[in-house]
Chains A and B, each alone.
Chain A
């Protein structure tokens, strides 16, 4: 009798602990805030053009954000990284850089970077190309999507939070999922 009571009390205690752990885990998840409405485009024609410049082809003009700090870049956003992963395939990045191991283009999952691994460096490589063979995507990819691509490229070498990095791929598995990659930084001396 008493052993049954004790067993029930132990069960209650265990359940309580489990619920508390779950609540804590959910509260601890720092996923990005989702926006369910688009930012309204201002009525002013000039401002409207600026806001839309992100979608425009051609060289950087007024409104074209040149640095990540100016906006558009969010490597904490799982959504942005997932979009970036999709664009990585859609814009044929995968054909030269594979799943980060490289090919005719350099590897992107390691610690060596020819033109820098800062978000702005990666963005510039995508938009302007590089003389070693990287083609310019300016005019082929809108600015916002290029920032998402830049964030995804950084995730290939583990430079974004594992909370936000993409994981399972719906494709042939070549390398570990991005979310499982240890950060590879040029300043860290490590072997591949």
Chain B
């Protein structure tokens, strides 16, 4: 068995270090009982080395403590645990609550109210969510919905600095979880649906001063494409493609926000991230490949300079984006050790990419896909099922996956023990139509409306274990609703996820066999994590509180009689209000 590299070199205390190979992708591997960033480690594995909870005893899991956040919107954040303290960022108004997890009952140490601009709620396309914070060197970093990146002292919640990285009036918001790379806090913006121009930026961890910013569209100098840029495929080579692949000036409002996950490989010193969909959604308004939207990037951590890029969905016409997770692992492929990133894209293809070069080593559909016919191995191009654009004024029917993608933001987890990626996902198709649209700053820039629907005979979502070496699914669990929560893998070979109708589930990592489940007050769209409490035992924590794009019908009380409501998601979720209600609750479990 091969462990992925993320734990190497900086792991000092862990026995399983012995399993690791090669050099590490980590910064300083977190202490095994901590969960210091939303994805836990720089490789984005969401793998906890704690192994007290196993397939044999998971049925004895019980609630240890819980806490209400007083917010009724989608709780997508991961609880963050470091040095005996748990930090939770709520959805807007983005209150931060610190719990002392070293004592029973976990009393609140402090809380912090950033007082974000309430107008930010109007430019959050898909509920006023927050994906979590990051802790490093005694500081906690998070992004408030109104584009302020804020650093707090973990001991008392005192504000250290705040930096505003954009204007709500332009349509921009921030929902993503930052990561910390050495002395840099790396963040990105949200708002592709509002015609926001995407970027990723690095701020100095001690001062909040902006070190670099790389835009997703525009001239090469803005995208930080220079002499060191060597994309693997010809389609991604050229000068100022971020301008040339757009109608004049359209790149300025072209989307490609960096609203998902950022991962980092210390050995290559590369930051990896995806970019969101192009704006507007109406593809007729933006002839061209629309670089660098719906793409993947590798950048130098110290400068943001692009090393390679790969556009997974050129000239996106279905609303797919590439901003979801890139999980860094090492695999033996065809007898050769490869440093890869795993990227289950919203377009339905599971990409295994050489993370040093950007070469697509394999791409296989992991969900039902009608809109494309795989990836061309020579050109790296996604083969769309048709080159024809859907005509204006005609309804384009049964695009699978729909604009929410085969998966969306909900992050996968990797177990180095099973060598499987655990992928929460949905299975929805979509009808849509397109119309002319004007860009009015601060308002949606779509030119499209849609109506998602079930695929005949298929459940609306599921939880998938994917083997990236054998390039096929190992097992799969169907769910009634899209699985909009994150996944958690543990060294006890137990995997956790939550469902939108409020079941928090533990399943066997090797077989998918259900081990335990707990019914929460509101549906789960959060990210489960695991940590070691003050009593030395393993705990599992998750936020419940339905919402996010898939849960908007409940979080925003949308009207089910309009199938186009909530970006078309309502049409597929009309029965969700009967299954769950609004809420905001932290649940923490341990063995009894």
Give residues in A with beta carbon < 8 Å to B: 89-92, 94-96, 98-107, 109-110, 112, 129, 131-135, 140, 170-176, 192
Contact = CB atoms under 8 A, between A and B. Distances in A.
B119 A104 contact: no
A104 B431 contact: no
Contacts of A170: 393
Contact of A101 (B440, B442, B443, B562): B562
A103 B567 contact: yes
Given A96-B444, A171-B433, A133 B120 contact: yes
Contacts of A131: 118-119
B556 interface: yes
Contacts of A105: 122
Interface in B89-132: 118-127
Given A131-B119, A132-B118, A106 B557 contact: yes
B443 A171 contact: no
A180 B431 CA distance: 23
B126 A174 contact: no
20 contacts: A90-B438, A95-B443, A98-B449, A101-B558, A101-B563, A101-B564, A103-B567, A104-B444, A107-B559, A112-B557, A132-B122, A133-B118, A134-B122, A135-B442, A171-B449, A172-B433, A174-B451, A174-B562, A176-B561, A192-B560
Contact of A107 (B120, B169, B445, B565): B565
Contacts of B562: 98-102, 107, 109, 174-175
Contact of A98 (B442, B557, B564): B564
Nearest to A107: B559
Interface in B431-477: 431-433, 435, 437-438, 440, 442-446, 449-451
- Among A96, A102, A104, A175, find the residue whose CB has the most chain B CB atoms closer than 10 A: A104
B571 A133 contact: no
B431 A172 contact: yes
Contacts of A140: 440
Contacts of B124: 104, 133
B443 A92 contact: yes
Contacts of B440: 91-92, 140
A192 B559 CA distance: 7
Nearest to A94: B449
Contacts of A129: 119
B566 A101 contact: yes
Nearest to B560: A192
B125 A172 contact: no
A98 B437 contact: no
CB-CB nearest 3 A-B residue pairs = A133-B122, A95-B444, A101-B562
A142 to B, nearest CB: 14
B126 A171 contact: no
B552 interface: yes
Nearest to B194: A95
B404 to A, nearest CB: 13
B449 A172 contact: yes
Nearest to B195: A92
Interface residues of B, number: 44
Given A91-B443, A96-B444, A135-B169, 19 more contacts: A92-B444, A94-B449, A99-B449, A99-B565, A102-B566, A103-B567, A104-B126, A104-B556, A105-B122, A107-B556, A109-B562, A110-B559, A131-B119, A133-B122, A133-B123, A172-B449, A172-B450, A174-B449, A174-B564
A103 B561 CA distance: 13
B558 A107 contact: yes
A105 B124 CA distance: 9
A92 B393 contact: no
Contacts of B565: 98-103, 107, 174
Contacts of A104: 121-127, 444, 552, 556
A92 B558 contact: no
Interface of B: 118-127, 169, 193, 393, 395, 431-433, 435, 437-438, 440, 442-446, 449-451, 552, 556-567, 570-571
Nearest to A96: B444
A32 B393 CA distance: 30
B389 to A, nearest CB: 16
Contact of A133 (B121, B438, B559, B563): B121
Contacts of A96: 122, 443-444
A18 B368 CA distance: 57
Contacts of B560: 101, 192
A172 B126 contact: no
Given A96-B443, A104-B556, A133-B118, A172 B564 contact: yes
B171 to A, nearest CB: 9
Given A135-B119, A172-B432, A100 B559 contact: yes
A192 to B, nearest CB: 6
A98 B561 CA distance: 11
Given A92-B444, A133-B120, A135-B443, A99 B435 contact: no
A153 B184 CA distance: 47
A104 to B, nearest CB: 6
Contacts of A176: 561
Nearest to A171: B433
Contacts of A110: 559
B556 A103 contact: yes
Contacts of A173: 563
A92 B564 contact: no
Given A92-B445, A102-B556, A133-B123, A174 B563 contact: yes
A112 B570 CA distance: 18
Contacts of B558: 98, 101-103, 107
Contacts of B442: 135
A185 to B, nearest CB: 15
Contacts of A90: 438
Contacts of B556: 102-104, 106-107
Contact of B446 (A95, A134, A172): A95
B195 to A, nearest CB: 10
A171 B443 CA distance: 20
Contacts of B120: 133
A3 to B, nearest CB: 54
A124 to B, nearest CB: 16
Nearest to A170: B393
